[in-house]
A and B are shown apart, each in its own frame.
Chain A
Amino acid sequence: MTSPTDKPNDGGVPLPVVPAGATSGAPAEFPPASPAGRGMFGNQGTGDVSGYGGLVRQRQPIEEASRPYGGYFDEVRDALEEAYPAFGDAIEKVVVDRGELTLHIRPERIAEVCQVMRDDLALRFELCSSVSGVDYLGADERRLHVVYLLTSMTYRRQVRLEAAVSVEAPHLPSVTAVYPTADWQEREAYDMFGIVFDGHPNLTRILMPDDWEGHPQRKDYPLGGVPVEYKGAEIQPPNERRSYQ
């Protein structure tokens, strides 16, 4: 696992100090090694006299699903496989978890897959409910994930598509030509995570001011403290405060 400071300064912002407990040295896993699995009080080194700082929790990894998936998931997969010739190339992984189907798609194929998902009569995912970004810092090279939630109003089904890109080349095709509703949601993902949707008609910031530097919802974005008017004191950013985890 790499620590955030090993990354080049891609967010256009000063490099942050590593949050306490962020570098656990565990092998890459999903979800990535984060402070959540290690220690108890958020302190490291000599401050820890309890010994609990070395505590490591076992977490269930999320694994690829095997057939049959159950429910309508098999039908969706079969219909997509039949309608989309490049299926084998496009699908990286299929995950079934908590009653939800996730298809991990190769990023360059995402617009094609969406087109088939919308137009094929056996699939008919007419509505793109949600597009959001997630930054799995420390998972692997392709840490920025774009998550699409497609809804079929005809069959009353939902499927999640997920595409992962790296910070160095955060490019994937825009799905706005297929789902115009993705327009603002892709802009938000660009604004917050710096994911670039090629072919988007107007990929500009949407929530942050236009001259803002950096992408605030990336996990390595520095949080900054607040100076308070008491003898030069400062409220620390939340990731540096002592906390119970």
Chain B
Amino acid sequence: MTTSNYASERETDEGRVFTVTGGDWDTIVSGTDPINDERIVVNMGPQHPSTHGVLRLILELEGETVREARSVIGYLHTGIEKNLEYRNWVQGSTFVTRMDYLAPIFNETAYALAVEKLLGITDDITERATTIRVLMMELNRISSHLVWLATTGMELGAISIMLYGFREREYILDIFETITGLRMNHAYVRPGGVAQDVPDAAIVKIREFLKMMPKKLKEYEDLLSGQPIWTERTKNVAVLDVTGCVALGITGPVLRSAGLAWDLRKTMPYCGYENYEFDVPTHPDGDVWGRYQVRLAEIRESMKLVEQALDRLRPGPVMVADRKIAWPAQLAIGVDGMGNSLEHVAKIMGQSMESLIHHFKLVTEGFRVPPGQVYVAIEAPRGELGVHAVSDGGTRPYRVHYREPSFVNLQALPAMAEGGLIADVIAGGASLDPVMGGCDR
């Protein structure tokens, strides 16, 4: 590209730099000849109900056909990775949980696994903590897929499914609130284990949910699968085959919908997933319909996993035994949210000076992590969620980088949209399930 209507350019010692600042609509429009040029440029977003968040799409159209599609991201960049470098390792979980806000448990678990690998305590994590992690992740996968179904339905004109999807997701958030004290942004999975044990009330709720959900899933399918508009809008739309997926780094349901059964829970197991019975659903077509089928099937598989995890829950500690790593306070949920349990406060304030010192040191200073770097990847609802964590031996992360599936997957949008109809941009984009909080971090 030598000259561009979209951006002003200047030469620097790092090469040519283009500046796109927004408010550039007049320049973009003036670059096209309205009489002889068939192409029109449509700006969609960053605030648009069908873009799944603050995503800006610039589409070059010929009639209704998309000739070029470019996505602009960064509107939700909050500098979480940089922020982590100025907090201690445990505080990190409250930051990472806010990245992909539809899959907070996955962000936390990936982070915790990375810190544990750096500490070399991966094998010391208690059985119960690991099982709770699996339980929470699979519930979270269901809630995330439900939001996908809800928003995608809405974007393709099926408003009822949006209400149903959010309604059932609310039930899961209710379970999360019972367990962690918060509907979202839990900071529940911590390096070394989980913040506190699962209360009995939550187990009852989960069992109820498992009983209720198959009926609801059938309802969704009755509502959508045979629906001619839904099939028209999804079948053979935004096709991407395995080669395209792997080249563009697309993982998760999109890759599986193209036919490759690549699921890190099976292929590179973590958290004991190799001991669970579940299938990896795939679909041969690689279109939006396939992604819909795969995600619905994954909800069913996740329910199997939740059931197995519930059966495996044996009483036991939920934090590593090492008191130099485990959070010193026994946390409890009080009327005003989660905090130190009253017994613990009584002990450190009234009985044991050493406990107070220990608590103070670990909470203000944090534990030290031996220098080195690790990469840990888990299968999040959107694909491979990787954490590259570097420690310099201190009490704070030296660098944490998230390989966010939303960020990587969104690169596929031009490949899916170009040459198709403008309406299919919405279907294709939605089928990638991008969450901009995770994408921009």
- A34–B396 alpha-carbon span in the complex (Å): 11
Chain B 165-201, CB-CB to A under 8 Å as 1, else 0, gives: 0000000000000000000000000000000000000
Q: Are B370 and A60 in contact (CB under 8 A)?
A: yes
Contacts of A23 in B (CB 8 A): none
Assuming the A-B contacts A34-B398, A216-B79, A238-B86, are A100 and B18 also in contact, with contact meaning beta carbons closer than 8 angstroms in the complex? no
Q: What is the minimal beta-carbon distance from A189 to any residue of chain B, in angstroms?
A: 9
Q: What is the minimal beta-carbon distance from A153 to any residue of chain B, in angstroms?
A: 6
Q: Are A239 and B20 in contact (CB under 8 A)?
A: no
Q: Are B375 and A158 in contact (CB under 8 A)?
A: yes
Q: What is the minimal beta-carbon distance from A228 to any residue of chain B, in angstroms?
A: 18
Contacts of B411 in A (CB 8 A): 180-181, 183-184
Q: Are A194 and B403 in contact (CB under 8 A)?
A: no
A108 contacts chain B at the CB level, 8 A cutoff: no
Contacts of A207 in B (CB 8 A): 73-74, 77, 440-441
Q: Are A160 and B375 in contact (CB under 8 A)?
A: yes
Count residues on chain B whose CB falls below 8 Å from chain A CBs.
Answer: 60
B407 contacts chain A at the CB level, 8 A cutoff: yes
- A36–B120 alpha-carbon span in the complex (Å): 19
Selected contact of B14 from candidates A184, A196, A206, CB within 8 Å = A196
Assuming the A-B contacts A37-B394, A129-B386, A160-B375, are A98 and B14 also in contact, with contact meaning beta carbons closer than 8 angstroms in the complex? no
B117 contacts chain A at the CB level, 8 A cutoff: yes
A156 contacts chain B at the CB level, 8 A cutoff: yes
B373 contacts chain A at the CB level, 8 A cutoff: yes
A115 contacts chain B at the CB level, 8 A cutoff: no
A117 contacts chain B at the CB level, 8 A cutoff: no
Selected contact of B390 from candidates A31, A37, A194, A210, CB within 8 Å = A31
Chain B 33-75, CB-CB to A under 8 Å as 1, else 0, gives: 0000000000000000000000000000000000000000110
Q: Are A245 and B18 in contact (CB under 8 A)?
A: no
- A127–B384 alpha-carbon span in the complex (Å): 11
Assuming the A-B contacts A31-B393, A132-B403, A208-B77, are A181 and B247 also in contact, with contact meaning beta carbons closer than 8 angstroms in the complex? yes
- Give the contact-size bracket for chain A: 35 or more
- A52–B252 alpha-carbon span in the complex (Å): 50
Selected contact of A31 from candidates B19, B74, B392, CB within 8 Å = B392
Chain A 112-156, CB-CB to B under 8 Å as 1, else 0, gives: 000000000000001111101111000000000001010001001
- A19–B398 alpha-carbon span in the complex (Å): 15
B309 contacts chain A at the CB level, 8 A cutoff: no
Q: Are B73 and A36 in contact (CB under 8 A)?
A: no
Chain A 14-57, CB-CB to B under 8 Å as 1, else 0, gives: 00000000000000001110111100000000000000000001
| CB-CB contacts below 8 Å: B86-118 with A | 86, 117-118
- A182–B246 alpha-carbon span in the complex (Å): 12
Contacts of A156 in B (CB 8 A): 267-268
Q: What is the minimal beta-carbon distance from B379 to any residue of chain A, in angstroms?
A: 12
B374 contacts chain A at the CB level, 8 A cutoff: yes
Q: Are B392 and A149 in contact (CB under 8 A)?
A: no
A204 contacts chain B at the CB level, 8 A cutoff: yes
- A32–B371 alpha-carbon span in the complex (Å): 10
A75 contacts chain B at the CB level, 8 A cutoff: no
Q: Are B399 and A210 in contact (CB under 8 A)?
A: no
- A129–B251 alpha-carbon span in the complex (Å): 9
Specify which of A37, A181, A245 lies most central, judged by the most chain B CB atoms within 10 Å of its CB.
A181
Q: Are A98 and B118 in contact (CB under 8 A)?
A: yes
Assuming the A-B contacts A149-B388, A180-B247, A209-B21, are A57 and B393 also in contact, with contact meaning beta carbons closer than 8 angstroms in the complex? yes
Task: Return the chain B residue nearest A184 by Cβ.
Answer: B411
Chain B 120-139, CB-CB to A under 8 Å as 1, else 0, gives: 10000000000000000000
Jot down 6 A-B pairs with beta carbons below 8 A, ordered by A. Answer: A36-B396, A133-B401, A134-B398, A182-B249, A207-B73, A210-B7
Extra A-B contacts (7), CB below 8 Å, given A34-B392, A36-B393, A181-B408? A36-B394, A98-B120, A134-B373, A158-B268, A196-B14, A210-B21, A244-B395
Give the top 5 A-B pairs by smallest Cβ distance, nearest first: A36-B394, A181-B249, A132-B401, A130-B403, A238-B86
Chain B positions near chain A (C-beta within 8 angstroms): 1, 7, 14-15, 17-21, 73-74, 77, 79, 81-82, 86, 117-118, 120, 246-251, 260, 262, 267-268, 361, 364-365, 368, 370-375, 377, 384, 386, 388, 390-396, 398-399, 401, 403, 407-408, 410-411, 440-441
